[in-house]
Structure 1
Amino acid sequence: MLKVKHFIEQSWLLIVASFIFGLLVAVTYASWKPRIDQNEKDKLNNLMRFMITDANSFEIAVRDAEINTGKGKILKTNIYKALYTDGRTLGYAFVAVGSGFADKIKLVIATDIHCEKVFGFKVLASNETPGFGSKITEDFYTNQFKGAPATELIVSKTGDPEIIDDKIITISGATVSSEAVVKIFNTFIAQIKQKLEEQGLI
């Protein structure tokens, strides 16, 4: 009987301790969330500005655009328009997400005002294998997208990466990650263009 009583007493201590710990975690997260959100927003703006260098500011052109990522899954993303100092639209940018080799890959993709030519992409978040999949951030790979048509892209293991067209040459030792980025492009680009057309923006 004493053992049962002792067990109950110890269990209550564990429950109370767990509750207090969980509460502290929740309070800490709540207090840090505004700063985390602002840091993510600043990083997004910096990456968009890096690709559309003449932009003075970025505004949401289409909020929560619904993108069908396959198998009935819908992902919502904002489409931003890049504005010059006089208010002219210079291009569009959006966040695109898809599965990589190790985890999700989150990209920021920029296009021209007609969504016909890609200005480029930057990696917003990725956990791809260091030294292999992480090479999707390197110039050899990213430069192939600068000026590429905003249409269905093709993955190839051979070819000249200096030629800018719809063919993207994979990274040696990181074929899966290379293909993942192209798949993200192909999933999002056509649907983004459709959303812009529906809003009369292009």
Structure 2
Amino acid sequence: MAQRSHALPAEEVVSALGSYPSGLSAQEAAQRLRKHGPNALPPPTGRHPVFRFLAQFNSALIYFLLAGAGAAWALGHFVDAGVIVAVVLINAIVGFVQEGKAEDALAAIRKMISPRAHVLRAGRRQSVPAAELVPGDVVLLEAGDRVPADLRLLRARGLLLEEAALTGESVASAKAEGPAPADAELGDRTSMAYSERWWRPDRAPGW
């Protein structure tokens, strides 16, 4: 359902999720939260950099290379032993740097998710932690908000969404509540709002 929500009328998507334009009840939202879990990435394990670097050597291939370097040294082939050790160290450094960049990227993604979100629950506007959003929630967005989850727009007028992180385009994308083509790429799904910062003159609910 989520993979083709952009191509369906908003009313049909709301109905398929068992939701209502006035939003879910508090009881239903709590049940869905228990069923689907929080709207959040898993917390990082947080290894110390020293242990992360040493982990680069934890490989059968590395063990064979080090054993080969030791054998070459014992046989008096010092240059060969030095080359093998250098290759192992370079491999470890490259792996350490790449793993560090991956962890930084995950941390940046977590920061993009708004800590709180405005939703309609039983027709009443409420502010809840973004981690407590569930499928079927009607989310209210205001100018300058970060979209707290991937949303199917229910109403939007003059909506411009910055999707540079998604499409690489520096120009804001125009959005509307009408269905998009079924085969549209992510950047062309005009009826969807993905976890990004956006600006528009009027508030528009979505989920």
TM-score for the superposition, normalised by structure 2:
0.32
Larger relative contact order, structure 1 or 2 (CA cutoff 8 Å, min sep 6):
2
**Which one has the largest radius of gyration?**
2
Q: Which has the higher strand share?
A: 1
